[in-house]
Amino acid sequence: MLSLIIAESSLELVPRELQSHISIKSHAKKLGKYPSEILLDNSWHFAAMKGLENEIKRGRPDIVHLCLLAATSIPLYHENEIEIYVHTVDNKVIILGDNVRLPKSYHRFAGIIEKLFKDKVIKTDDSVLMELKKMTFDELIEMIEPKSVIALSPDGMPSNYQSVGKELDDSCLIVGGFQKGAFSDEITQHIDRTYSIGEQSFEAHVVISRILYEYEKTIFM
């Protein structure tokens, strides 16, 4: 079984120190929620986020949405051949259940994630769709116990999706859930091999689409 970790994802609720900022208060009001209940989102909260610690890896829930849609709309996930985790920049982990149909509409996705951050679990009558745990990357890797940990990052060894796809059985694949920057040391110390695809830096959702497609070919064809 392949595990996918979208690591250090820029997904969190508005942190306490920004909750009284005017741009955040007015955005929360529009949504009919308290500032503490809404996702930090650079596209609305840019002014408030200026100078925030580790700013480059924060406030991009849209990236996580696109990554999760890329990973869950495919046969690999429908056939339960992949486990999906979102590790966040402030060390929380979303464990995704089987056969979850995430909304393509962003505001609905945000609503679910905000509910998850509040309630720690989203479930139906007979299954758990998502769970949120306070968990470091260390602890997550310890829980998964993969055969090997393989990361995709622009600073890795040059390769291509097809070759990397063939190496993934029983591995844990790491893709960064942030816009820019490199993995922190806490992540890199667990990585066995890092590969780079192409010369440009790609959007995380494109990397996930392509690598999972190539892996899917190795197991379904």
Q: Which is closer to a second copy, CB of 73 or CB of 184?
A: 73
What does the angle CA 82 – CA 206 – CA 9 come to, to the nearest 5 degrees?
A: 70
Minimum gap (Å) between residue 210 Cβ and a second copy: 6
Q: Where are the beta strands (DSSP E) in 126-190?
A: 128-134, 148-159, 171-176
Please report, as a single letter, which amino acid is at residue 145.
E
Q: Which is closer to a second copy, CB of 75 or CB of 142?
A: 75
Minimum gap (Å) between residue 184 Cβ and a second copy: 23
Residues that bind a second copy (CB under 8 A): 30, 41, 43-44, 60, 62-63, 66, 69-70, 73-75, 78, 103-108, 161, 198, 200, 202-203, 205-206, 209-210, 213
Q: Which is closer to a second copy, CB of 163 or CB of 189?
A: 163
User: Residue 86: in which H helix or E strand, if any?
Assistant: strand 82-88
Q: How far, in Å, CA of 82 to CA of 136, rounded?
A: 21
Q: Which is closer to a second copy, CB of 162 or CB of 184?
A: 162
Please report, as a single letter, which amino acid is at residue 69.
L
User: Nearest CA to 141 among 98, 183, 178?
Assistant: 183
Residues 6+ apart with CB under 8 A from 199: none
Residues 6+ apart with CB under 8 A from 38: 13, 14, 24, 27, 28, 31, 110, 114
User: Nearest CA to 131 among 90, 94, 161?
Assistant: 94
Minimum gap (Å) between residue 216 Cβ and a second copy: 10
Q: Which is closer to a second copy, CB of 76 or CB of 174?
A: 76
Minimum gap (Å) between residue 178 Cβ and a second copy: 12
Minimum gap (Å) between residue 188 Cβ and a second copy: 25
Q: How far, in Å, CA of 39 to CA of 82, rounded?
A: 27
Q: Which is closer to a second copy, CB of 36 or CB of 162?
A: 162
Minimum gap (Å) between residue 120 Cβ and a second copy: 25
